[in-house]
Amino acid sequence: QSPESYFSLNFGNSLASEFVMSVTELDLLIQNVVLAQGETCRFRQENLQVLRWETYSPEEVLSFQQKPIDHIWERCVCHVTEAIQYIVEFAKRLSGFMELNPNDQIVLLKAGAMEVLLIRMSRAFNCYNSTVFFEGKYAPLEIFQSLGCSDLIGSMFDLCHSLCALNLSEHEMAFISSMILLDPSRPWLQDKQKVEILHKKLDHAFRYLLRTSLRESILTKLPQKGRLLSICQLHMEKLNIFRQMYPGIACERFPPLYKELFI
Ligand code: CLR
Mutate to test the pocket of ligand 1, among 64, 79, 249 (most ligand atoms within 8 A of CB): 79
Residues with Cβ < 8 Å from 181, sequence gap 6 or more?
Answer: 87, 90, 91, 94, 97, 108, 109, 112, 113, 116
**pLDDT confidence of residue 11:** 53
**pLDDT confidence of residue 18:** 67
Residue whose C-alpha is closest to residue 92's, from 111, 107, 105: 105
**For the segment 188-227, what is each residue's pLDDT rounded down to a tens digit?**
999 999 999 999 999 999 999 999 999 999 999 999 999 9
**Gap between the Cα atoms of 87 and 119, Å rounded:** 11
Per-chain mean pLDDT for the chain: 94
In the chain, % of residues over pLDDT 90: 90
Higher pLDDT among residues 13 and 53, named by residue: 53
- Given a contact cutoff of 8 angstroms between Cβ atoms, the answer to whether 84 and 258 are in contact is yes
**pLDDT confidence of residue 249:** 83
CA of 192 to the centre of ligand 1 (A): 30
Look at 12-16, 46-50, 123-127, 187-191 and tell me which has the smallest mean pLDDT.
12-16
Mean pLDDT, rounded, for 114-122: 98
Residues enclosing ligand 1, CB less than 6 A?
Answer: 42-43, 76-77, 79-80, 83, 117, 120-121, 124, 132-134, 144, 147, 149, 153, 156, 238
CA of 76 to the centre of ligand 1 (A): 7
**For the segment 50-70, what is each residue's pLDDT rounded down to a tens digit?**
999 999 999 999 999 999 999
Protein residue with its CA nearest to atom 5 in ligand 1: 83
ipTM: 0.99
The pTM assigned to this predicted structure is 0.96
Protein residue with its CA nearest to atom 3 in ligand 1: 83
Q: Which atom of ligand 1 is nearest to the CA of 156?
A: 21
**pLDDT confidence of residue 9:** 72
Protein residue with its CA nearest to atom 18 in ligand 1: 134
Q: Which atom of ligand 1 is nearest to the CA of 82?
A: 6
Question: Helical H runs in the chain?
Answer: 23-39, 45-50, 58-65, 69-93, 102-123, 150-165, 170-181, 192-212, 225-245, 247-253, 256-262
Mean pLDDT, rounded, for 24-52: 95
